[in-house]
Amino acid sequence: MSMQILITGGAGFIGSHLTDRLVADGHQITILDNLATGRKENLSAHLGGANVTFIEGSILDLPLLDSLIKETEYVFHLAAAVGVFNIVNHPLDSLMTNIRGTENVLESAHKYSKPVFVTSSSEVYGKNDSDSLKESDDRILGAPVTLRWSYSEAKAIDESLAYAYWVEKKLETRIVRFFNTVGPRQLGAYGMVVPRFVQFALKNEPITIYGNGEQTRCFGHVLDAVDAVVRIAYAENTIGKVINIGNDYERWIGPDGVDADGTVVKRNQLRMVPIDTSQEDEYSKLSRQELLRRARINGRQQAAKQPAVTNESDNELQRWLQIARGK
């Protein structure tokens, strides 16, 4: 059955692929995007057509947003300030967009009783380095004044708002957390790692690695993510739930230039850049291997062998282990 659907952030990376899918499914789509990180070129296959209406505007413009939600049947809320560089350089704008914008979407949706699909991020887990992350797992963050964590904080608030609207006002909400989604149309300008690597490779330049190369990522293709979004959006048993969307295969480039699957990356093809420690705390600076050596907690929250306490970051880790053990 054809529906009238609003996609906030529909000109962005994931939003434009969701537009492709929903148009193919026969729906009528309205897109609201301020083009801060989105691009109209991402919608070139649809602009001027009968199935997609594009409106350049912001989710902070409440009268505009309200008028669009009033005329729609379902809201996919993807609009957000994204990217590490953007978040650190423009923290206030990012916080306002991600928190107040989501509040506007939820309030208007409640006003007209329209279901809302809210997209969040694996960033909400912060420094939780468990082997597998469940939707109910704890968040472990640095200091509030460390700007690097402001995106995580904002997305967590978005989730809390969406869940509260379901619990208190029975607004039909669904929440998903994306984990390192990659694919066509993703840009490297805002710190996204894969398109940056591709850009370096195409220019035959050394690939820039921030830190020691031991950071891990579980990459998932955008088309798989969109398929999951559509399945979750129309399922009755996902209302009021938070669901992770990602891959369970970790990849990293280690200190010897070898990827997790054994692929060799020549050292002269890499440029290692120290992380700006002004935006990191002691726990953040520990390598993945060191964290796993000190404390490895599996999906059942079982604690690993307890290390000796040597500094404040170790003390924090000890407290975390005690909580995990239920002490």
Q: Which of 125, 151, 190, 283 is catalytic?
A: 151
The enclosing H or E element of 100 equals none
Is 210 in the active site?
Answer: no
Taking each helix axis as running N to C, give the angle between helix 101-112 and helix 62-70, from 0 to 180 degrees, rounded to the nearest 10. Answer: 40
Q: How far is CA 234 from CA 15, 34, 204, in A?
A: 17, 27, 45
Report how far residue 256's alpha carbon sits from residue 273's, in angstroms, rounded to the nearest whole number: 15
**In sequence order, what are the residues at sequence separation of 6 or more whose Cβ sits closer than 8 angstroms to the Cβ of residue 261?**
251
Q: Dump the DSSP string for 239-271.
A: TT-EEEE--S--B-B-TTSBBTTS-B--GGGEE
Report how far residue 308's alpha carbon sits from residue 325's, in angstroms, rounded to the nearest whole number: 17
Q: Where are the alpha helices (DSSP H) in the chain?
A: 13-24, 62-70, 84-89, 91-95, 101-112, 150-169, 193-202, 222-233, 282-285, 288-294, 312-324
Report how far residue 226's alpha carbon sits from residue 237's, in angstroms, rounded to the nearest whole number: 18
Cβ proximity of 284 and 211 under 8 Å: no
Question: For residue 224, how many other CB atoms are within 10 A of its CB?
Answer: 14
Question: For residue 200, how many other CB atoms are within 10 A of its CB?
Answer: 17
Cβ proximity of 303 and 324 under 8 Å: yes
Cβ proximity of 225 and 245 under 8 Å: yes
β-pairing, 242-245 vs 173-178, is parallel
Catalytic residues: 151
